[in-house]
Structures are given as C-alpha cells and as structure tokens.
Copies of this chain bind each other. A is one copy, B any other.
Amino acid sequence: MAEGSSVASQRIAEKLRERILAGGLAPGARIIQDELAEELNTSRLPVREALRIVASQGLITLRANQGAWVTTMDMRECDLTYRIRERLEPLLLSESAPGLTEGDIAELTALQDEIEQTQNVEDFLVLDRSLHWTVYRHHNAGELASIVARLWDTTQHYRRAFTRLAGERRRWIINAEHRLLIQALREHDHRSAEQVLELHIRRTRVELADHPEVFAGQVV
C-alpha cells in the first residue's frame, strides 16, 4: 500500500489508522471532522471520506447525523474475535506455508530472538505482529488476509492493555509457542504449524477471559 497516496482521503485514513493503532486515540474517543480538517490543512470533504474508509476497517464507528467514535469492544466481542481468528489464521497459514523459504525461517528466528530480548511493550507489539505476518507473507488470499488484518486491528488496543498488564510474567509461554511454530514450519510440518497456531490464539483468548479489568472503565 502506498504510504503517501496522492489521494488526500487515503493519506488521512492511513494517518488515522496509525494513530488509533499506536494508542494515540483510545476506544470511545470522539473524532470531529472540523478539528481533523483544520489540523491537516484540508477541507472537511476528504476527512469525511477518510472516516468512511477507516470505518470500513472497523476501527471507528459512524452514527448518522451524530459523528464518529473510535470503536469500543466489550469482553464478549473481543473473545469472539479471538474465536474467529482461531478458525481463520490456520487457514491463512496453510495458504502461505508452502511458499516459505529458508530465508523466511531465518527472519522468523531473528524476530523471535528480538522478542525474547525486549521488555518494552510497544516493541513487543510491533515484533509480535511482524512475526505472525511474516508467516503469512506468501499467501495469495487477499480477502482472507484483509479479514484477519481487520481482526488484529480492532483488538490492538486491548492486546496492548493486556500485554502491559501481564508484563513479563507469562511471556515464556508465548515464546515457547512461537518457537514450536517456527520449528514446525522449518520442518515443513504444516499440520503441526496450524495446530500450534490455533493453540496459541486459543490460549491467549482463555487467558484474556481471566482479566475482565482490561475492559473496565471504558466510555461506551
């Protein structure tokens, strides 16, 4: 995707998306067209179109004649998103795995090395995301990939909150799962890779279900 698209609405949409994913705009925050337009030195029109773009990615929610808010999830919705991921990501993996090269495996190993070294939450989120999407790199399934990307995006804020909460405590479990995943891919054992991935997602979901405080105190 073009970073600096020549179309203003796409640039604005991308900027909005990054701001939400980076945590600058929390769920529940209102977005006012005039403010964004003035800040970016454009008219309200491309802002309106950008809002529709970002809304189509699920990151904001539009209400007719009322405005736009950063999408809020409750625990039930987040849990269901993980259930969907459990079913779709193994499929996406199976679409990509046959194309993985030894170079890709080396990249994955390097990323996991970094993950085990960092203690910074933001770094972890970026690295973890990179690792998973490197696994999916060779897919030829645009629709499926965009559905999965959307599921990652809409839960990003809660993944951040949860990672901050859990700290380093149970990080070894994630590392073990990642190492098993990479090893299965290295040995071209795709079936095992799919199972480890499903386990990885489900275990995270179950753990998240034990921490309702992640969703407490939200402005719904």
Contacts and interface: CB of A to CB of B under 8 A. Distances in A.
A84 B6 contact: no
A197 to B, nearest CB: 14
A121 interface: no
Given A5-B64, A52-B49, A143 B88 contact: no
Contacts of A88: 84, 87-88
Q: What DSSP secondary structure best describes chain A's contact surface?
A: helix
Interface in A10-29: 10
Q: How many of chain A's residues touch chain B, expressed as a range?
A: 20 to 34
Contacts of A176: none
A40 to B, nearest CB: 18
Interface stretch (A75-83, A101-109, A161-169, A212-220): A75-83
B81 A87 contact: no
A1 to B, nearest CB: 11
A88 B88 CA distance: 8
Interface of A: 5-7, 10, 48-49, 52-53, 55-56, 58, 64-65, 76-77, 80-81, 83-84, 87-88, 91, 95, 140-144, 147, 154
Can you list the 10 inter-chain pairs with the closest CB atoms, starting with the nearest? A56-B56, A87-B87, A52-B52, A7-B64, A80-B141, A84-B144, A80-B144, A49-B52, A147-B147, A83-B91
